[in-house]
């Protein structure tokens, strides 16, 4: 996937909701391929921890692939943490990682997921 497509994915997802904090396309080695950060927002992770988070996502993606034949490939994952909610989507061998404000009602998270799925399909 070329860089222009990755940036397009980030922009399209960022437009879905005002509650989206950050969108990243992460390569299968944990490298940041493209991103969007909501303006005037203080990141929760510093640069070093962000690299660790992306590496973790890459490793987790590899581990999940082990079960793809029996369970089917992962379409998305949703995590609720104390300070943020995250959704990750499979995109070929890459991942799209989205962080969302914590105090968002679950129906809004589901709306975000439902709005992201066609974007993922379009770029797969």
Greatest mean pLDDT range, 13-17, 58-62, 64-68: 13-17
Q: Which helix (H) or strand (E) holds 8?
A: helix 3-14
- Per the structure block, which two tokens stand in for 51? 């690299």
Percent of the chain as helix, strand, coil, to the nearest 5: 45, 25, 30
Domains of the chain by residue range: 3-123
Residue 101: enclosing H or E segment and its boundaries?
strand 94-101
pTM of the model: 0.88
- CATH number at 3-123: 3.30.450.30
Beta-carbon contacts of 59 under 8 Å, excluding residues fewer than 6 positions away, are: 30
pLDDT tens by residue, 29-65: 889 999 999 998 888 888 888 888 888 888 887 788 7
């Amino acid at each position: 996937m070329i860089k222009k497509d990755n940036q397009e994915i980030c922009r399209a997802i960022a437009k879905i909701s005002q509650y989206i904090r950050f969108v990243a396309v992460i390569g299968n080695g944990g490298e940041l391929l493209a991103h969007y950060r909501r303006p005037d927002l203080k990141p929760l992770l510093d640069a070093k921890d962000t690299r660790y988070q992306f590496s973790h996502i890459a490793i987790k993606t590899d581990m999940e692939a082990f079960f793809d034949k029996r369970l089917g490939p992962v379409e998305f994952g949703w995590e609720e943490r104390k300070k943020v909610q995250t959704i990750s989507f499979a995109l070929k061998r890459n991942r799209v990682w989205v962080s969302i404000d914590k105090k968002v009602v679950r129906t809004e998270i589901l709306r975000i997921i439902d709005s992201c799925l066609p974007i993922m399909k379009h770029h797969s």
